Structure 1
Amino acid sequence: MSPIDPSKDPPEMKSEAKVIVIGGGITGVSTLYHLAKSGWTDVMLVEKLELTSGSTWHAAGNLPSFSTSLNIMKLQKNSIELYQQLAEQTGQSVGHHQTGSIRLAHTKERLDEFKRVAGLATLAGLSGVEVVDNERLKELHPFLDTTGLLGGLWDPYDGHIDPTSVTNAMAQLARGYGATIVRHNPVTAITQLADKKWEVTTEQGVIHADIIVNAAGFRANEVAAMIGHQFPICSLEHQYLVTDNIPALVDRAHHLPLLRDPDISYYLRQEGKGLILGPYEREPVAWAVDGVPTTFGQELLQPELNRLEGIIGAAMEQVGIIGDGGIKTVVNGPIVYTPDGLPLLGPVHGYDNYFACAGFSFGITQGGGAGRYLAQWIIDGHPEVELWELDSRRFGSYANLSYTVTKSLELYANEYQLSCPNEYAMRPACREVKTTPIYEILKHKNAVFGAYYGWERASWFAQSANAPVENFSYSRGNWDAAVRSECEAVQNRVGILDLSAFTKFEISGKDARSFLDRISPNQVPAKCGDIALAHVLTPSGSVAWEFSMTLLESGAFYLMCPAACELLIEDWLRQRATKYADISIANITRDWGTLILAGPRAREVLAKLTDADLSNEAFPWFTGQEIQVVGAPVRALRMNFVGELGWELHHPLQHQQALYEALVWAGEAHGIVDFGLRAMDSMRIEKGYQIWGRELTTEYSALAANMSYFIKTDKSDFEGRAAVLAEKEKPSTHRLVLMEVQAGPADALGSEPIFHQGKLVGLTTSGAYGYRVNKSLAMGFIKRELASLDTELTITILGEECSAKVIRGCLYDPKGERLKS
């Protein structure tokens, strides 16, 4: 490929393109590059100013592979591998320095985090990432004072790169593949036409496109406003300082490794013969909340070093040579944040042929991989890895500007916070956004709540009013005894759980059955009260989302789906419903609540409050009836996720408090207890129940996840059927299993590596302690040939090699006798 000067645009802008990428930062250019490389050469990028204007050009350019998420680690690994190849492909330096990095641990919990991340690195193919002691830290960084440290994490893949050079290198290659880049061409209007294609008006003319990608960085919401929506993104100030040359570094032949101290909250790396020190302030500042100035491009903001003094002082105590160089430059530039700190990638809710590639606070390290995965999303319908945690539809309308700014500021101040389970969900900012009518009652009962998709959901119930707070840890924490008690109560008596956060739809109309038959691999309920579980498949046969459907007396179908993917499901249903003449889709999530009543005394409790016949003969397992309970209309479904006799009681939300209080009153004689999500998760793993987002993802096929019972290939047609039939002829390489683990105080959490005779053979998807069976359990995918009973395995949990063995897929009540009692 002959070199192409990225500063020279073609003489004429095209008036049509298959894809238009709006924004010339590293993420937009990466998307363009990967589309063109994949053969989609009729693609165009338009940029308001120069490439890298915005946040890219002033970024520090650090390249960590570190993440507490396996798939984000894979994404960042893809970036690093791509950047390593660019210099050779273009014949130009991209300023890549692979120095490696160390992260410091002051506490046991931080060291546990590093041990967990080292396990993720094994799964991601990053050999050499390891937890090291203080002696090794000194070898790696001779200027580091290790006093007070317990060790650290060594990552040999880390380093830094020149953001402008790497962006221009990808732009050059994209052009070589046939893509078009037009700079100094701001977008002024965007209209979606009747055929779902786009008309994009720019300063240099009108472009018609099949698909648009919003990669406009901190101007993404300016572009979004032209379309009619807003993203949950905002800009924050980020400062770092560059020192003059430091004498101790002048004669060194090799760069120091990049150093991060997450507990003090800074990164430090060598830049030439000086250093860059980047603190994350405890009291961060939002920028341009009311809108980015029109002319702002490659400018910087006014530095305010006084905000950094405490962190700078602590860093100088650890690395004394910082004080040997004067401050040469202070960079203060805007970077984009979302409420959870992760970018917005993929389809945009409510629109067709519109994708997001925005909200990157770590755009350099994530840009290369994000462009690759987004190109796959556009071309194939989903990326090669499950990226729900980055999906642009993971937030609802609750994430308005005020929420976004407040949560982003909280996140920045806790940039290096431990990522223990539930930690983010229990942060204090912007709580009680979505609550149910019994929220205050549960709060008074010492419920420890977490915020999930905006909903306040009880994780567990503290046994003492003096301790309704979770102590975050990677091991069983202060919730352990309480959750055990909740599980034992559900097993032996009866428990009640608020699951109102379920996403709920009603599908009605003459075409409702045909519509559901097309998206469901399972048979659609045929008579009133029938219930079916369905797992919507991708074209490759993996699971996009799951739902239960119940045929109501009215003839409508009642759908219950995972809480978090409400907008994804709404899009999926809306886009496919256009092919049917008589169909109505109503999202009733905010109108209907759900209470779970489960345990061997559940029938006796409910019988006190209804005239309905609850016997096995009149009300069999896995059927539903519309009944009256203390005067409230209830859709009672005889099923649950904990493996005990019980009902899901769906009701108009205005009746919830009266219904809940009546159930508690009726259950007092039977020792009724409230239980939370931790207990439910423990009990569902004992039953071997798969869950969306863990065992059921787009990464593994439905058959590999043991869902064949719910897939009826004798049906004439449903989405993904061809892939299912092909897999039956040639089974997938992995299969989901349930494992008993000889664990210590820490159970598997998911994404731990699984070994057989020293060889990596799979990964966990979920784990918990099973309090009804008194065993530590894990679910995970392993090589198919090993998925037989009693196969001996090893799972690495926080650096410890724990013996495990494959057991039957349902450990608790395997015949379902308790469910059907």
Structure 2
Amino acid sequence: MALAIQRRQQRMYKPLRAHPHHTSTRTRSRCVWRASVSATVLTEQGCMFQERHGWERPGWFSKDGPAPALDYDYYGFYDVPKNTTDKYRDLLRKEYTFDFPPHHDVIKDECMSCRQDVAVFNMSYFGKFYLSGPDAKQAADWLFTADVNKKPGSTVYTCMLNKSGGTEADMTVSRLEPGAANLPLAVESDGDAYYLAIGGGVAEHNWNHIRKVLQDQGFRCRLVDHSEDMGMLSIQGPKSRQVLQEVLDTDLSNEAFPFSTHKIVNAAGHQVRAMRLSFVGELGWELHIPRDSCLPVYDAVMAAGAKHGIINSGYRAIDSLSIEKGRSLCLSGNTLTWYRHWHADLRLDDTPLEAGLAFTCKMKSSIPFLGRDRLEKQKKEGLRRRIVCFTIDDKVPMFGLEAVFRNGVPVGHLRRSDYGFFIDKTIGYGYIRNPDGGAASLDFVRSGDFTLERMGVTYKAKAHLKSPFDPENKRVKGIYA
């Protein structure tokens, strides 16, 4: 397995022609944090990479030290000596099991370090787009289910829908200050401009959806891709503020840097865009970093975090932490944020109402957006299915697609499952239906006895309407008892 992070296909994109002011560009420079330099640095620290949607990204970190992948041996052909041993391959092969993987405890340590101290996640494979132009505000209103036109410096979690009300994407949209270009941290704009951060595996899908909508509506906008020009580090955990306060030249207190806000700051002498966000349910920040500054900033973060027990963590830990948290409450006290994985517990055929993301939809306003009419109809008629969180006390691995039974009757299946190490339970999310054809109401969930079936064996499950972890949502606010 090659360690170099895979790049998107090198295709040329022509400007859209729906309007003379409507253009679309893709940058092509390689990001050092997404390419071989970062892979080498992480491999030296024991990183085992995993593939997701055609990209490689850190999966987990072996405690046995580096396990570099050997050069491809062509099975001994072309006068290339055949590899006789391969530590990297052998470690990955052990993942193919219906039990917990051999490195289950390693993932646990990464998760618990994030919950108890601080962890750093390399999320550089994320897509990073800018939307600007004369019609940028109108385009943002139509594209995004949430009202992203807050004051500059705000960051909003939102969805994008199709005409059927299905969810094309979930992402964060940050409103920027108008001004001169400060590429790649900002684009030139004399009006409204937005920074979009999107899961890397689906960034290409989101790019094409946005382009199509802009073209169909004739919006005069410019959509620019700077994914290859920036890296992204997420520093999360109770001690993240202590670590970053030594690296960033700005006040990180709740008052000076509230949740869901962003600003350009200096990090060890390098300009970065810092966002106070969390995908794991902890106090934390994301640093969006120009490619040439990625390694110096990473080194500064690790040096400052050494005395606080900072560790590298991978996406296997993120999967566990995010499903364990389930949702979070923003500091305003009235905004629920669910931790969804698009492609698993959120797909093209799921509406935000079914997925527990109604709060992302500006239904109380009169602002039209793509798919709104379908949501209004669904809200009026009642939900025929909804997503539910399940936990089981038995320590058995589940992977998704396990059948869900209510009172002995099948009502759905899990979309995603993982082990929650802090609550010490197996967790799963799945959509359930009322077998009688009626609404899948909250009372329908509360009144049922649920079981989950794994490989022919059923396990008693508890259905949750609130997060099984930190239900009062204090930790993202930095409140730790």
TM-score, reference length from structure 2: 0.78
Equivalence for 2:201: 564
Matches within 5 A, 1:189-208: none
The 5 A counterparts of 1:144-155 are none
Matched, 1:488 2:112: yes
Deviation at 1:566, TM superposition (A): 2.4
1:520 aligns with 2:158: no
Name the amino acid aligned to 2:43.
K
C-alpha distance in 1 between matches for 2:391 and 2:424: 10
CA offsets, 1:193-225, max 9 Å, x none? xxxxxxxxxxxxxxxxxxxxxxxxxxxxxxxxx
Matches of 1:654 and 1:787, distance apart in 2: 54
> Which of 760, 763, 768 matches 2:410?
760
For 2:55, the aligned partner's letter is: W
1:532/1:787 CA distance change after superposition, 3 Å? farther
- Could you tell me how far 1:700 is from its partner in structure 2? 2.4
The one of 694, 704, 709 aligned to 2:344: 694
The residue type equivalent to 2:137 in the other structure is: R
Task: Specify the alignment match of 1:624 in structure 2.
Answer: 262
Residue 678, structure 1, aligned to residue 316, structure 2: yes
Distance 1:436 1:603, change over 3 A: farther
Number of the residue aligned with 2:332: none
Indicate how the Cα distance of structure 1 residues 694 and 626 shifts in structure 2: closer, same or farther if over 3 A, else same.
same
Residue by residue over 1:95-124, the C-alpha shift from the partner in whole angstroms, topping out at 9 and shown as x without a partner, is xxxxxxxxxxxxxxxxxxxxxxxxxxxxxx
C-alpha spacing 1:573/1:487, structure 2 compared with 1 (3 Å): same
Deviations along 1:621-654, whole A, 9 cap, x unmatched?
Answer: 1111111101111111100100100001111111
Tell me which residue corresponds to 1:749. 399
> Do residues 461 (structure 1) and 112 (structure 2) align?
no
Q: Is the 8 A contact 1:434 1:454 kept in 2?
A: no
User: Please, which of 696, 700, 707 is the counterpart of residue 357 of structure 2?
Assistant: 707
Q: CA deviation at 1:501?
A: 0.8
Question: Could you say which residue in structure 2 is the equivalent of 1:611?
Answer: 249
Q: Residues 762-781 of structure 1 correspond to what in structure 2 (within 5 A)? A: 762-781=412-431
In structure 2, relative to structure 1, the CA distance for the partners of 1:591 and 1:793 (3 Å cut) is: same
Pairing 1:70-89 to 2, within 5 Å after superposition: none
| Superposition deviation, residue 799 in structure 1 | 2.3
Q: Offset at 1:500? A: 0.6
Query: Which residue is 1:372 aligned to?
Result: none
- Taking a change above 3 Å as real, the CA distance of residues 660 and 473 of structure 1, as seen in their structure-2 partners, is same
Q: Which residue of 2 aligns with 1:307?
A: none
Match of 1:447 in 2: 47
Determine the C-alpha separation between the residues in 1 that align with 2:115 and 2:33.
33
SS in structure 2 at match of 1:696: coil
Q: Counterpart amino acid of 1:669?
A: K
| Amino acid of the structure 2 residue aligned with 1:624 | H
**1:434 Cα shift?**
5.7
1:798 maps to 2:455: yes
Give 1:552 deviation, angstroms.
1.9
1:511 match:
135
Match of 1:575 in 2: 212
Describe the superposition over 1:43-87 as per-residue Cα deviations: whole angstroms up to 9, x where unpaired: xxxxxxxxxxxxxxxxxxxxxxxxxxxxxxxxxxxxxxxxxxxxx
Identity %: 29
Where 1:507 maps in the other structure, the secondary structure is strand
Structure-2 residue corresponding to 1:735: 386
Q: Given the alignment, which residue of 697, 712, 721 partners 2:372?
A: 721
1:589 aligned partner: 227
CA shift in 2, pair 1:436/1:552, >3 Å: farther
In structure 2, the gaps of 5 or more residues are 1-8, 17-27, 68-86, 179-191, 327-338, 434-439
SS of the residue 1:438 aligns to? helix
Residues in 2 aligned to 1:767 and 1:521: alpha-carbon distance in whole angstroms: 27
Work out the CA distance in 1 between the residues paired with 2:381 and 2:248.
52
Q: Distance in 1 between matches of 2:248 and 2:198?
A: 27
Cα contact 2:396–2:426 (8 A) shared by 1: no
Q: Which amino acid aligns with 1:775?
A: K
The CA deviation at 1:696 is 1.2
Shift of 1:780: 0.7
Distance 1:697 1:551 in 2: 26
Q: Which runs of 4+ in 1 moved over 4 A?
A: 349-352
Cα-to-partner distance string for 1:756-785 (whole Å, 9 max, x where unaligned): 222110110111110111111111111214
Bigger relative contact order, structure 1 or 2, given CA contacts below 8 A and separation 6+?
2
- Supply the distance in 1 between the matched residues of 2:296 and 2:324 (Cα, whole angstroms): 32
Who is 2:122 aligned against?
Answer: 498
Partner of 1:807: 464
Structure 1 position 350, deviation (Å): 7.9
- The aligned amino acid for 1:621 is F
Letter in 2 for 1:542: G
* 8 Å contact from structure 1 (residues 520, 718) kept in 2: yes
Q: Does 2:189 match 1:539?
A: no
Give the root-mean-square deviation of aligned CA atoms: 2.6
Distance in 1 (alpha carbons) for counterparts of 2:241 and 2:348: 38
Counterpart AA for 2:209:
W
Asked whether the equivalents of residues 34 and 124 of structure 2 are also in contact (C-alpha less than 8 Å), the reply is no
Please report how far the alpha carbon of residue 453 of structure 1 lies from its aligned counterpart in structure 2 after TM superposition.
4.0
Compared with structure 1, are the counterparts of its residues 521 and 653 closer, same or farther at alpha carbon in structure 2 (3 Å cutoff)? Answer: same
Spell out, residue by residue over 1:346-377, the C-alpha distance to the aligned partner (whole angstroms, 9 max, x if none).
xxx9899xxxxxxxxxxxxxxxxxxxxxxxxx
Cα deviation, 1:319-371, whole Å, max 9, x if unaligned, reads xxxxxxxxxxxxxxxxxxxxxxxxxxxxxx9899xxxxxxxxxxxxxxxxxxx
- CA positional deviation for 1:598: 0.3
Matches of 1:610 and 1:563, distance apart in 2: 26
Taking a change above 3 Å as real, the CA distance of residues 642 and 581 of structure 1, as seen in their structure-2 partners, is closer
Query: Which structure's CA Rg is the greater one?
Result: 1
Equivalent residue of 2:320, what SS? helix
Amino acid in the other structure paired with 2:224: A
Secondary structure at 1:564 match in 2: helix
